[in-house]
């Protein structure tokens, strides 16, 4: 592998470091660590002085610009545990005791964990290791290597695995299933792998990610193993699932959760069956197809499908054939009122989540391992889902309707 080319700025910094090491007579790891500790101390004390200056509104000794009754009041000593060892800091004080330093907070006695949290937060937002490296230097004056960033973020893996196996609720109103694809290096080759994602809406109307699984191929056997995994984690019943025609999923869900109803995503069905329609015909054809999936009842929808086929069979015979072949799973939503229909007829709930994942991962064209992919997706998921604090819109109405349609299963 070719050595990464250094920018002029990094070359300049390296030269300065070499000169400093030579000037200080540093020859071994102990000397380097001692020098790093001194440098870190200088950086932090300078930053603390800068924070107090901003707080008071005037620089040291510049009394003419003083517009506050508060003033400096000497220093307090603080011992800080860092990756370079224990560090003694002089922390500036103010007379009113109102100064709240941010880079090193009042009761903070360790810097390593704080920096690790910052690195993990930046990684979760999709910053590359190079971006993080530059950011840490610009803000804190600290050089953090790619290997250090990987080592810090790798600490997340056991937590992510534990999250993936956490207990779940016993009943979910709706579970959405979909896949998002990434390039992953595997045995010296770049392989397209799918990440299969399940989002559940519980009986309180709240969304949660039930699981994320990385695989190369989907099949009934694959999905059955995942359904059984969800059962082992506590799920006893799923009222309705909404999926994007995942291979083998219908057989697997019927085997694991025999009473669960399946709704195939209407939007995906439209995309899949109209992608080869001539642009000249798209508008007219979609008007006719809309009469099928927007019908008030299944009976009317089937009549409109007959009309559609009669008009377009000669030019696009595969469209009606596909809709009829999948009709059992496409037509489930017709039996429900408008509020439930709106919830289940499309996998938009999970597609919105996938779009947010793509924003975070767009800087990574290829992931070196499955673990590196899972690590980033987990961190991104934690960042995205912390905003999921409200119930699904119209949940009161939807829940009342579900209680009627699934009275025997929601009696408790």
pLDDT digits (tens, 9 = 90+) for 165-190: 999 999 999 999 888 888 888 888 88
Least confident window among 201-205, 323-327, 372-376:
372-376
Least confident window among 122-131, 207-216, 237-246:
122-131
Write down the pLDDT at residue 75.
Answer: 86
pLDDT tens digits for range 110-163: 665 566 666 666 666 666 666 676 666 665 555 666 666 666 667 778 888 899
Q: Who has greater pLDDT, 250 or 140?
A: 250
Model-level pTM? Answer: 0.68
Write down the pLDDT at residue 319.
Answer: 95
Whole-number average pLDDT of the chain: 82
Closest by CA position to 182, among listed 220, 213, 161: 213
Residue 330 CB-density burial (10 A; 0-12 exposed, 13-18 middle, 19+ buried): buried
Residue 1 pLDDT class (50, 70, 90 cuts): very low
């Amino acid at each position: 592998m070719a050595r990464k080319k250094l920018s002029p700025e990094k070359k300049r910094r390296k030269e300065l470091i070499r000169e400093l090491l030579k000037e200080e007579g540093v020859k071994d790891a102990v000397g380097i660590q001692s020098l790093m500790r001194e440098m870190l101390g200088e950086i932090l004390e300078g930053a603390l002085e800068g924070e107090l200056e901003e707080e008071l509104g005037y620089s040291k000794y510049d009394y003419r610009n003083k517009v506050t009754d508060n003033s400096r009041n000497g220093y307090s000593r603080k011992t800080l545990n860092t990756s370079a060892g224990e560090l003694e800091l002089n922390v500036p004080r103010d007379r009113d005791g109102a100064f709240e330093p941010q880079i090193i907070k009042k009761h903070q006695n360790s810097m390593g964990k704080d920096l690790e949290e910052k690195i993990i937060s930046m990684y979760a937002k999709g910053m590359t290791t190079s971006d993080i490296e530059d950011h840490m230097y610009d803000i804190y004056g600290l050089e953090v290597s790619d290997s250090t960033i990987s080592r810090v973020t790798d600490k997340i893996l056991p937590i992510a695995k534990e999250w993936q196996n956490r207990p779940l609720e016993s009943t979910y109103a709706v579970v959405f299933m979909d896949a998002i694809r990434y390039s992953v290096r595997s045995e010296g080759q770049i392989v397209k792998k799918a990440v299969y994602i399940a989002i559940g809406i519980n009986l309180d109307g709240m969304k949660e990610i039930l699981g994320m699984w990385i695989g190369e191929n989907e099949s009934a056997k694959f999905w059955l193993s995942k359904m059984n995994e969800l059962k082992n984690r506590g799920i006893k019943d799923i009222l309705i699932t909404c999926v994007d025609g995942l291979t083998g999923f219908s057989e697997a869900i019927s085997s694991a959760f025999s009473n669960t109803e399946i709704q195939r995503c209407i939007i995906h069905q439209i995309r899949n069956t109209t992608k080869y329609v001539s642009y000249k015909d798209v508008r007219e054809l979609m008007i006719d197809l809309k009469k099928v999936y927007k019908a008030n009842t299944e009976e009317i929808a089937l009549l409109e499908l007959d009309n559609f086929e009669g008009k377009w069979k000669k030019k696009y015979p595969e469209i009606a054939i596909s809709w009829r072949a999948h009709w059992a799973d496409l037509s489930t939503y017709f039996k429900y009122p408008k509020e439930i229909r709106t919830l289940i007829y499309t996998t938009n709930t999970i597609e919105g989540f996938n779009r947010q994942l793509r924003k975070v991962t767009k800087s990574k064209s290829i992931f070196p391992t499955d673990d590196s992919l899972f690590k980033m997706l987990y961190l991104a998921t934690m960042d995205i889902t912390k905003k999921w604090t409200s119930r699904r819109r119209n949940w009161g109405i939807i829940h009342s309707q579900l209680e009627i349609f699934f009275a025997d299963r929601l009696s408790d």
